[in-house]
Amino acid sequence: MVNPSLPEVPAGDALRPYDLRCEHRGTPLGIGTPVPRLSWRLASDRRGDAQDAYRIRVHSRGALVWDSGWVEGQDVSADYGGAPLASFTRYTWRVETRPGGAAESWFETGVMHQDEWVAAWIGHDPETEPPFEPPTDEGEPRSARTAGLPAPRYFRRVLDLPPVTAVRIACTARGLYELRVNGHRVGDGELTPGWTDYRQRVPYQVYDVTDLAGDGPLCVAAILADGWWSGSLGWDMRQQAQRYGRRPQLLVQLVAEHENGSRTVVGTDGRWRESTGPLRHADLLMGEWYDARLEQPGWDLPGFDDSSWAPAGVVDTAHDVLVPSAAEPVRVTQDLVPVDVRPGDGRTIVDLGQNIAGRVRLVVRGAPAGARITLRHGEALDDDGGLYTANLRSAEATDHYVAAGAPVETFEPRFTVHGFRYVEVSGHTDVEVVGRVMHSDTPVAGEFSCSDDMVRRLMSNIRWSQRGNFVSVPTDCPQRDERLGWTADAQVFLPTACYNADVAAFFTDWLADLRCAQTAEGAVPDVVPHVMTERHGTPGWGDAATVVPWHLYRVYGDERVLRDSLPSMRRWVDHVERHNPDLIWRNRTGSHYGDWLQAGVRTSREVMATAYFALSAELTSKAAAVVGDVAASAHYAGLRSRIGDAFVRAFVSADGRVTGDTQTGYLLALAHGLIPEPLVPAAVGHLVADLEDRGRRLTTGFAGVGLLGPVLSAHGHHDLAYSLLHDDRYPSWGYSIKRGATTIWERWDGWTEEGGFGPVAMNSFNHYALGSVGAWLYGGVAGIGQEEGSVGFRRPLIRPLPGGRLRWAAASYDTPLGRLGSQWEVEGDTLRLEVRIPPGAEATVHVPTTDPASVRESGTPVTGEAVGGALACRVASGRYEFTAAWAR
């Protein structure tokens, strides 16, 4: 499977803005902030090009509403500064740069003032409604059995409006919805409105349905299911099902504009009608049950006779929880044609060749009415070639389709998602299956490739695990009865995630849920959104509160994330300090998972916790400095320094050993500057000795694994780092790849020769945490990074690491300024390095060489400074081709 490639960048000799975004999104509808941030990237093939000034003009309804005037400088973003934004209005904006070109884009607002909401939350009256009773056989979904969940509901209302010029619909659910207008599905979002901390924030989406409206009556319809709101969630069905509410509810507000400029606003109310339909049951973990015999043709068209439908019940009119959807929705982004279809014994096993999160589209031919076709999903096959589902725990991941008896029927579930590579189809043999890949549609931002098949596969597995686990929130896994926003998984993987995709909007939204969930005393929960109330305050997990905002700021250069998060960062650090006055984090360690899933060792929990405490204090100090809170910055810098002293006193011996003597202990201490300078070589020596003594095998778990490459290479041990990268013995990434992994496994021993499948209680084959090595492939191997202190890649640092089995490696990455690229190749005794620096950036390039005097750029000698096996030189924007002497 190839990785999705980066979109082309405009080429040419003149500076040009491109890829215009509003609030980190392309052309969003439903912007809710009064001061949206507008940003653009720059392209130019001319060396040394930089933007000297920009000017933004925003128009709405033919009138100029903001002219920034010419603003000198290199900023590639600006906050809207014009007349107050009106609701449901399109704003086109144009940015011009000097020198150079111009580009145009638009955004639309949603509901700008809470009092503009008229829609009520509607649902159905549970008293009138019998629960779904499927045939009592093995196919019965357990969630329906235990919780007696009612069937999903269908809603509709017909509106007679004067002729319209534009129609927008704002829609959301406490649950999941599919919106339809005049028989057509609206939008391409899946699992909408997405998952947030519904108690405080329910996101709504805005759609442009003008083209569906026509001249006659308008039928607005929706299907409503439980989803995260009232369906099964997590692993404890009794506690978790119906976590937020008992029944799903719908909220729709339509705003139609007419020729004379007037508006009609209509919201959901008791005039809507509702009914059950062919979708009998839908649950994220369990799957769907669709009975095509129960279809009511035309139910979403104006002419339909809904006299047998019931009036919808009005639940409440709470609008204060409504927030504009801030990130791209989940979408189906790719179809996978099976690589193998194995019929047998009434059950056909279909292999998509790739472990994904998603669902299938099923085509059924010649099934008699009432035939039930069952689709079971799994990540692996057992020894007999049957579907392996033990690791799904209680998630049934099973869809049922009951045929209507037509010659050809098509079924695709709507309100469920499975983590799977294999599908078992039973109940009918003449079937066709296509895999539908689903994930939050974060734009592709980076590409990495190299000459080694296994390393390429590793990056592909990382990328697929990112896709499979960014499903509205960053989850641990997409398959079993868990799929929760585990905070450590997210924070250790974030640097890798940022290289692969533009996750600014995605994580900014998740951080809002993190802040909602912080406890009164400042503890951060282990999972966000917060659904396991008893778990919070855990070292490495809670620290997502500081690590995530800081990293987002560094990568995307948007300081608002720090402004929004600083109070939460402070409360988190204060909480840890309050309970650990001697600054060794021993108390209030929450669920303390340590270096989770480490291989065969036990990193000291106090070492790990205290290292994170130091890191969080440091990041809080830096964030306070950015926000301009000098006193807070000094306070947390002081705290950081005292934690550092305490760490050294408690854990670092005079010969540079760190208590516990484990790889993760050294990695954390070295990466976070906790080893006194004179002892650093000794500590590095102990780390290296541990690896060598184990025959170059890693022992790291979630907390340490992402630091192996960066720390080893920072201290001159890239050979060792490459040994680990290329290793295929247990435990290693290569070990899973040798076994055919197409995603990153949760645990090093997900499957072993000796034991077969790992412990079923916890064995996901799609978990990205151990894939946090990806950041080192981009930042180390291909060498795309930024200088310490640089923000938004203003000062890129290109420092590739030729080595290992690699003959070449290449990476490209869309920084906020524009595209950055690095590609190296070794041929005989020459190394060639091509770099691409975006306009306005001032880069340092370390050209790897065994002879600094040999370095040439496009044939011309280069001046620079010889540093550790490279010639470091400064370059401005443009493309450069270096050659240098190289000896292995």
Strand duo 263-267 + 202-208: pairing: unpaired
The vertex-810 CA angle with 804 and 815, nearest 5°, equals 130
Q: Whole-number minimum distance, CB 540 to ligand RAM, in Å?
A: 9
Q: Whole-number minimum distance, CB 523 to ligand RAM, in Å?
A: 16
Q: CA-CA distance, 866 to 873, in Å (whole number)?
A: 9
Q: How many residues bind ligand RAM (CB under 6 A)?
A: 10
Q: Which of 433, 424, 370, 436 is nearest to 397 (CA)?
A: 424
Angle between helices 560-579 and 544-556 (to 10 degrees): 150
Distance of CA 521 to the CA centre of its chain: 28
Give the residue with the Cβ less far from ligand RAM, 225 or 488: 488
746: annotated active-site residue:
yes
Distance of CA 534 to the CA centre of its chain: 25
Q: Whole-number minimum distance, CB 743 to ligand RAM, in Å?
A: 14
Give the residue with the Cβ less far from ligand RAM, 350 or 531: 531
CB atoms within 10 A of CB 598: 24
| Binding-site string for ligand RAM from residue 709 to residue 748, where x marks contact by CB under 6 A and - marks none | ----------------------------------------
Q: Whole-number minimum distance, CB 281 to ligand RAM, in Å?
A: 27
Take residue 568 and report the two structure tokens written for it: 């939460």
Interface with ligand RAM, residue 18, by CB under 6 A: no
Let me know: does 40 contact 103? Beta carbons within 8 Å.
Answer: yes
Tell which positions 764-803 bind ligand RAM, by CB under 6 A.
767
Sequential DSSP letters for 74-117? ---EEE--SSPPPTT-EEEEEEEEESS-EEEEEEEB---SGGG-
Sequential DSSP letters for 360-417? EEEEEESPPTT-EEEEEEESEE-TTSSEE-GGGTT---EEEEE----SEEEE--SS--
Q: Per CB under 6 A, which region of 196-204, 322-330, 449-457, 482-490 contacts ligand RAM?
A: 482-490
**Residue of 447, 482, 618, 857 with catalytic role:** 482
Please identify which residue in 486, 553, 651, 824 interacts with ligand RAM, judged by CB under 6 A: 486
Q: Whole-number minimum distance, CB 887 to ligand RAM, in Å?
A: 43
Interface with ligand RAM, residue 544, by CB under 6 A: no
Q: Which of 118, 115, 144, 112 is nearest to 131 (CA)?
A: 144
Please identify which residue in 396, 489, 577, 814 interacts with ligand RAM, judged by CB under 6 A: 489
Q: Per CB under 6 A, which region of 208-216, 253-261, 337-345, 481-489 contacts ligand RAM?
A: 481-489
- DSSP single-letter state for residue 527: B
Give the residue with the Cβ less far from ligand RAM, 538 or 849: 538
Give the residue with the Cβ less far from ligand RAM, 179 or 762: 762
Give the residue with the Cβ less far from ligand RAM, 400 or 588: 588
Contacts by 786-789, CB closer than 8 A, 24 or more apart: 786/554, 787/844
Give the CA radius of gyration of the chain: 28
Strand duo 184-185 + 202-208: pairing: unpaired
**Residue of 23, 178, 328, 746 with catalytic role:** 746
Which are the contacts of 37, defined by CB distance < 8 A and separation ≥ 6? 22, 23, 24, 77, 78, 79, 80, 558, 560
| Binding-site string for ligand RAM from residue 285 to residue 324, where x marks contact by CB under 6 A and - marks none | ----------------------------------------
Q: Per CB under 6 A, which region of 247-255, 286-294, 461-469, 484-492 contacts ligand RAM?
A: 484-492
Q: Per CB under 6 A, which region of 347-355, 486-494, 797-805, 826-834 contacts ligand RAM?
A: 486-494
Please identify which residue in 593, 793, 813, 880 interacts with ligand RAM, judged by CB under 6 A: 593
Q: Whole-number minimum distance, CB 489 to ligand RAM, in Å?
A: 5
Residue 99 preceded by cis peptide, ω within 30: yes
Please identify which residue in 488, 584, 671, 744 interacts with ligand RAM, judged by CB under 6 A: 488
Strand duo 870-875 + 865-867: pairing: antiparallel
Give the residue with the Cβ less far from ligand RAM, 325 or 475: 475
Distance of CA 823 to the CA centre of its chain: 27
Give the residue with the Cβ less far from ligand RAM, 394 or 429: 394
Q: CA-CA distance, 311 to 313, in Å (whole number)?
A: 6
287, 291, 292, 298: CA torsion to nearest 10: -90
Residue 529 preceded by cis peptide, ω within 30: yes
Q: Per CB under 6 A, which region of 270-278, 332-340, 421-429, 485-493 contacts ligand RAM?
A: 485-493
Strand locations in 193-239, DSSP E?
202-208, 218-225
Give the residue with the Cβ less far from ligand RAM, 404 or 532: 532
Q: Per CB under 6 A, which region of 262-270, 429-437, 483-491, 782-790 contacts ligand RAM?
A: 483-491
Q: Whole-number minimum distance, CB 604 to ligand RAM, in Å?
A: 18
Q: CA-CA distance, 860 to 606, in Å (whole number)?
A: 54
Q: CA-CA distance, 79 to 69, in Å (whole number)?
A: 13
Q: Whole-number minimum distance, CB 476 to ligand RAM, in Å?
A: 4
Q: Which of 599, 615, 826 is nearest to 690 (CA)?
A: 599
Q: Which secondary-structure segment (H or E) carries 398?
A: strand 398-402
Distance of CA 305 to the CA centre of its chain: 43
- DSSP single-letter state for residue 780: I
Q: Whole-number minimum distance, CB 474 to ligand RAM, in Å?
A: 11
Q: To which residue do tokens 């299938």 refer? A: 360
Q: Per CB under 6 A, which region of 67-75, 162-170, 480-488, 580-588 contacts ligand RAM?
A: 480-488
Give the residue with the Cβ less far from ligand RAM, 227 or 485: 485
Q: Whole-number minimum distance, CB 484 to ligand RAM, in Å?
A: 7
Instruction: Give me the residues paired with residue 167 across strands.
Output: 256
- Amino acid at position 309, single letter: W
Give the residue with the Cβ less far from ligand RAM, 309 or 745: 745
Give the residue with the Cβ less far from ligand RAM, 42 or 484: 484
Q: Whole-number minimum distance, CB 176 to ligand RAM, in Å?
A: 23
CB atoms within 10 A of CB 671: 18
Furthest C-alpha separation in the chain? 87
Give the residue with the Cβ less far from ligand RAM, 486 or 651: 486
Q: Which of 170, 139, 160, 146 is nearest to 291 (CA)?
A: 139
140: annotated active-site residue:
no
Count of residues for the chain?
888
Q: Whole-number minimum distance, CB 486 to ligand RAM, in Å?
A: 4
Let me know: does 336 contact 352? Beta carbons within 8 Å.
Answer: yes
Tell which positions 420-479 bind ligand RAM, by CB under 6 A.
476-477
Q: Whole-number minimum distance, CB 85 to ligand RAM, in Å?
A: 40
Let me know: does 535 contact 591? Beta carbons within 8 Å.
Answer: yes
Strand duo 843-848 + 796-798: pairing: parallel
Interface with ligand RAM, residue 596, by CB under 6 A: yes
Give the residue with the Cβ less far from ligand RAM, 488 or 855: 488
The residues that touch ligand RAM, with contacts defined as CB under 6 A, are 476-477, 482, 486, 488-489, 593, 596, 762, 767
Give catalytic residue positions: 482, 746
